Amino acid sequence: MRNLYPANLRDEWFLAQKPEVRLFWLSLLLVADNQGRFAANPALLRSQIFPADDISLAEVEALIQALGDRVRFYEFSGPRHGQIIGWWKYAR
């Protein structure tokens, strides 16, 4: 079980985003591992975050890119992964 800090909902960056980016960000905090890492695969993220929605892989990739400097991307054993920067201030 993961806890999200209520301050996430008052964050200036968060409030400036479109609703779909805000949903994606909060959901990403829930699907990332306990260190804030995740597979940055649009198909996998779509299945985890939008399982019942008709959203294209291009739209998911655009949401990934909309996170800007909140995520650092890296390659590990082939596929692209992401690390949420400042993980501990967002989730526990």
Q: Count the Cβ atoms, other than its own, within 10 Å of residue 29.
A: 19
Secondary structure class of 71 (helix, strand, coil): strand
Q: Are 72 and 86 in contact (CB under 8 A)?
A: no
Sign (positive or negative) of CA dihedral 41, 45, 51, 57: negative
- For 7, 52, 91, the CA distances from 82, given in Å and listed in that order, are 22, 24, 16
The pTM score is 0.92
Q: Which residue has the higher pLDDT, 35 or 3?
A: 35
Name the band, by pLDDT with cuts 50, 70 and 90, for residue 30: very high
pLDDT tens column, 31-70: 999 999 999 999 999 999 999 999 999 999 999 999 999 9
How high is the pLDDT of residue 46?
98
CA distance 72 to 70: 7
